[in-house]
Amino acid sequence: MDSNALKQRFEFAHQVIRDAGAHANSYFKNLSQLNIESKGLQDMASQADIETEDLIRSAVENAYPEDAFFGEESGGIEPKPGQGIWVVDPIDGTAPFVKGISMWCVSIAFMVDGELKFGLIFDPSHDELFAALKGNGATLNGKKITPDTSTSIQDGRFCIGYSPRVTPQSVVSVLKTHLEAGGMYTCLGSGALGLVYVACGRYIGYYEPHINSWDCYGAIAIIREAGAHTVDAEADNGLTHGCEIIATVPGVTEAFAEILKTAKAAL
């Protein structure tokens, strides 16, 4: 896929993600409209999730019927060689969303042959649109963003996520080691927002033992273009199986690697 085709899709995605955010936000402003269903332990989907993903999928299918699609609510299939694929989470942070907490977002990523080409994260509650096209830097509402320049774990906060897909011990050990090193942490309830907050300097890192591709791919594209470090989340069937996610500002990458090493050795 050539650069013009990618840029066209990137610009198209800006309007689609704003439309999707507006639709989801209409429910957020009137939560009494929502029908909520459980998908498992600490996992749920609402009418807003399903409708918002349908909106994005329909827009993509109409504009680029040759592309593949992989969404949290509707799933998808592995793309063919050379075929672009849209990776979408209509509402990342459904648990905060349904409780009226404005810590959720819409996430869209686009990849070709296992490589992330662009990503967008839109937070309608705060009207913040994070975006990055590979090779063109990362922006927040059109302005360039860069990571924090901290060089010590003690200089800022990490965002640390957890889901029942892993054992409690796997995250408790990291928390204990991180705190003993003088670090501090926050848990937002939205992995995508936690990750882009690393990209724009609000946090110095993000860690979660396992995260799904739709939760992180859009943010990872932004993190890389902003200049922060992150794992190769696309490797080893990351699209369909997810991965351990580590994102750090350059100055604390080695220090947090040691924290993880110590924490895992203690399990």
- pTM here? 0.95
Torsion, Cα of 157, 162, 167, 172 (10° steps):
20
The pLDDT of residue 38: 56
35 — pLDDT class (breaks 50, 70, 90): confident
Name all domains of the chain by residue range, CATH numbers in brackets.
3-144 (3.30.540.10), 153-265 (3.40.190.80)
- How far is Cα 163 from Cα 43, in angstroms, rounded to an integer? 9
- How far is Cα 105 from Cα 90, in angstroms, rounded to an integer? 8
For residue range 180-238, list pLDDT tens digits in order. 999 999 999 999 999 999 999 999 999 999 999 999 999 999 999 999 999 999 998 99
Count of alpha carbons within 13 angstroms of residue 228, beta-carbon side? 34
69 contacts 85 by C-beta, under 8 angstroms: yes
Quote the mean pLDDT of the chain: 94
* DSSP secondary structure of 228-259: -EE--TTTTTHHHH-EEEEEE-GGGHHHHHHH
For residue range 118-168, list pLDDT tens digits in order. 999 999 999 999 999 999 999 999 999 999 999 999 999 999 999 888 999
